[in-house]
Amino acid sequence: MFSFLFRAAIIFHNPNPPSSDIGLHGSIINLILDQGILPNWNPYHMGGETLATPPGFHFFVTTLILLTGMELIFAELITAAFYSSIIVFPAYIVAKKIWRNSNAGLFASFFAAISALSLEMISWGGYTNIVSLFVIITIFYLFIKDTDTPRHSHLVVGAILFGSLIITHTFTLVVVFPILGLYLALMLMGKYKKLQDLKIRNLLRFFGVSIFAGAIAVSPWILRVFGFYVSASSEGAATGGLDNKNLILTNRAVDSVILLLIIVVIPAIFMFRSSRKKPFDNSSLFLIAWFIVPIVMTQGYLFGVVTDYSRFMYFIDFPGILIISAGLFYLFRYTGIAIKRNRKINWKNFKKALPITGFMTIIFILILVSPWSIVPEDAMNRANYYSTIHEAEESTLKWISNNTSNDSILVADHLYGWWLGGIGERVTLSAAELEFLIYSHELEVAKDTQLLLDTNYFIENGLLTVREDDGFVTNKTFEIGIDAWNGKTFPIFSTRDGGISFEFYPPGVKLAEKRSLSELKIIGTNTISNDDFITFLVQYEDELFIVNRIMTVKKGIEHAELTYNIIVKNNQTNLYHVWLPIYVGQGSMTLPEDKFYLNVTIPEKGLYYNMTTE
C-alpha cells in the first residue's frame, strides 16, 4: 500500500501529470475506443504512421476505461502506478527464494518501494517499460521455482507471460535473450567444471516451451508487424544506423564507469555461499547473468549497437535491489553477532538496542546516497522536471479540442506535440529530439517540424547550410554553417539584424542618429533558383533606407555569397558609417577575437553601395 500511495502522491501532486509519452499512449487508446479494434494506422502521432507499438498496456487501460468509465489520463496513471508498486511482491518472494531468508525479502520489498529508477520511469511516461519489467520479474521467479519443482502449470503460465511480454514491450526481449544466453553459457561452464545440481535441461525446457508457446499465442500480432520491423531494421533502427546515430552518441551515452558495478558480483558470491551453502548453483548463476547483462549493454556503442543506452539502466534496478537486500541482511546479522560476542559491552539492553540503532542509521544513509533509492522531495522534483502540461498548455489544449476541426493539422514542439496528438486527437507534427526516435518517418517529420518552427528559410547544398530565424523573431540571426558529426548544424558565420547598424545625420538635423537593421520592416522576399544555384532576396525598408540582403548558394561550392545593398532614399541624409559585425562560431576556425567588424565609410550621399563577404 505504501508503494502505491507513494507513486500516486508523486504523479498526482501537480494538477497535470508529468510526461509527454502519456500522449503517445493516449493516441492508441483513443483509437481503440473510437474504432473498437486496433487499427493499422495511427493518424495522430508524428503526422501519421504505422501503428507498430505493442498494444498490451493499451488493451489493459482500454478495458479498465470500459468497465469503470475512468478518464483516459487517470486510467493510464493508475495502471502505471499499480504495476510500478506491485513489484514489491515479486521482490519479496524472489529475494526470499534466492537468499532463503524472509528478512532479505523484506529489505528487497522496501527498496523496491522507494526505487529511484521506478519513480523515474513513471515520471517520464515509461508505462509499457514498467509493465514489462513486472512481467519479466514474474517469469524469472517462475523459472527459479520451476527449477526446484518442475510442473506443467509453470509452462502454461510462462507461455501466457511471454505472450504478454511480446505484445507489451518488444524491446525488453532484446535484454531477456542475452540474459538467457549468458546464463546458459555460465551453466555450461559449470558443467565443464563439474559443478553439481546444474539443471540445464530445466532451463531449455522452461524457456523453450514458454517462448515458443507464447509466440504462437500472439502470432497474429507478430505477423502483422513483422514486415514493418524488418524494414525498419534494414534502415538501421536496430543498431542506430539512421541519421540519429551520432545524436545518440552525443546525448545518450552512459559513462563507462558504470561497468564498475560488476564488482558487486564478488561480495554476492560470498553471500551465495553463506545462504545457499555453495557459491554457484542454478539461482546464483541466474542472478549474476541478470545483473551483468544490462550493465554491459549500456556500453553497446562500443560494439556498434547504437541505441538509447540509458534504458538498459532500468533492467539493472531489480537484480541490484536483490543484491543490496542480501548485503543489508548479512551486515545486520554479523554486526549483531559481533556486538553480542563483545564482552566489553556489558549492558544487556544496550546490546539489544545497538544493532537496531546502527542498522537504522545505515539504512538512512543508504537511502540518501544510494542511486537505487529516492526520497519524496527528490521524487517530486523529478516529476516536475518531466512535467509538460501546465495551466496555460491545458487551456490551449481545451481550446483546440473545442474550436478546431477534427481534420486539423497542428505543429508543436516534442513535449506538447504528443499531448496534442494523443489527448487532443488531432494530427500533430512534433519537433521531437532526434535521439529519442528510431524510425525514418519520425526522423524526417521531426527534422522538418524543427525547421518549420524556428526557421524562416533553410538552404543546403551538401557542403554547407544557410538558415534564418523564423518570421516571429525581430532580431533575426542569419547563419552560414556546416552539418556537424552529431547531426546538427554548426554555425561558422552569422549576422544579426540587431547588430547591423547605420550611423547618419537625418535631413536637416545636426545630431547624428544610429539605427539597426532590425528596426526596418521586411517588405518582401524573393527566391531565384535553378539546378545550379539558389538566390534568396530579403528587402528591408523604412522612411530613409532600403536594404537588400542577397544570399546565393551554388551547387557543389563550399562557400556562399552574402551581399548587403544599401540605398539611401533621400540625398539629404548623410550616411557616414555602417557596422556589419560577422560573428564567428567556435570550432576548427581560430581567430584572435570571437567576432570582427567590417567598417564601411560612405562619404558621398544618395549613392548605391555594395558590401559583399564570402
pLDDT digits (tens, 9 = 90+) for 533-544: 999 999 999 999
Length of the chain: 614
**Nearest C-alpha neighbor of 282 from the set 374, 218, 187:** 187
Mean pLDDT computed over 412-418: 83
Q: Can you give the pLDDT at residue 595? A: 39
Q: What backbone phi and psi angles, to 5 degrees, belong to 19?
A: 90, 145
176 — pLDDT class (breaks 50, 70, 90) = very high
pLDDT digits (tens, 9 = 90+) for 310-328: 788 889 999 999 999 898 8
Question: Measured between alpha carbons, how far is 154 from 429 in angstroms, rounded to an integer?
Answer: 46
pLDDT digits (tens, 9 = 90+) for 425-438: 999 999 887 777 77
Burial of residue 571 (CB within 10 Å: 0-12, 13-18, 19+) is exposed
Helix, strand, or coil here: 299? Answer: coil
Cell of 447: 527534422
∠ at Cα 188 (185, 192), nearest 5°?
A: 135
* pLDDT above 90 (res 131): yes
- Cα dihedral 296, 297, 302, 308 sign: negative
Summary mean pLDDT of the chain: 83
Q: What backbone phi and psi angles, to 5 degrees, belong to 316?
A: -80, -20
**Nearest C-alpha neighbor of 462 from the set 562, 550, 534:** 534
Q: Can you give the pLDDT at residue 586? A: 47
Lowest mean pLDDT among 88-97, 296-305, 353-362, 582-591: 582-591
| Helix, strand, coil percentages in the chain from 3-state DSSP, rounded to 5 | 55, 20, 25
pLDDT digits (tens, 9 = 90+) for 553-562: 998 888 888 8
Question: Measured between alpha carbons, how far is 101 from 103 in angstroms, rounded to an integer?
Answer: 6
Check if the beta carbon of residue 85 is closer than 8 Å to that of residue 113. yes
Helix, strand, or coil here: 328? Answer: helix
Taking each helix axis from N to C end, the angle separating 313-341 and 265-276, rounded to the nearest 10 degrees, works out to 60
- Cα dihedral 84, 90, 96, 99 sign: negative
What count of Cα atoms within 13 Å lies in the side-chain half-sphere of residue 208? Answer: 7
Buried-state track 253-263, b at ≥16 Cβ within 10 A, e below 16: bbeeebeebee
Q: Can you give the pLDDT at residue 596? A: 39
**Nearest C-alpha neighbor of 44 from the set 54, 62, 29, 55:** 29
Q: How many CB atoms lie within 10 A of CB 84?
A: 29
345 — pLDDT class (breaks 50, 70, 90) = low
DSSP string, 80-92: HHHHHHTTHHHHH
Check if the beta carbon of residue 551 is closer than 8 Å to that of residue 535. yes
Q: Can you give the pLDDT at residue 600? A: 41
Helix, strand, or coil here: 481? Answer: strand
**Nearest C-alpha neighbor of 287 from the set 83, 86, 101, 95:** 95
470 or 535, higher pLDDT: 535
| pTM, two decimal places | 0.81
Helix, strand, or coil here: 339? Answer: helix
Q: Can you give the pLDDT at residue 299? A: 82
DSSP letter, residue 387: B
Question: Measured between alpha carbons, how far is 196 from 187 in angstroms, rounded to an integer?
Answer: 11
**Nearest C-alpha neighbor of 450 from the set 482, 407, 479, 417:** 417
Task: Round to the nearest angstrom and report the end-to-end CA distance of the chain.
Answer: 68
608 — pLDDT class (breaks 50, 70, 90) = very low
Check if the beta carbon of residue 248 is closer than 8 Å to that of residue 435. yes
Q: What backbone phi and psi angles, to 5 degrees, belong to 178?
A: -60, -35
pLDDT digits (tens, 9 = 90+) for 359-399: 666 676 666 667 677 888 888 888 888 888 888 888 888 99
**Nearest C-alpha neighbor of 34 from the set 540, 564, 425:** 425
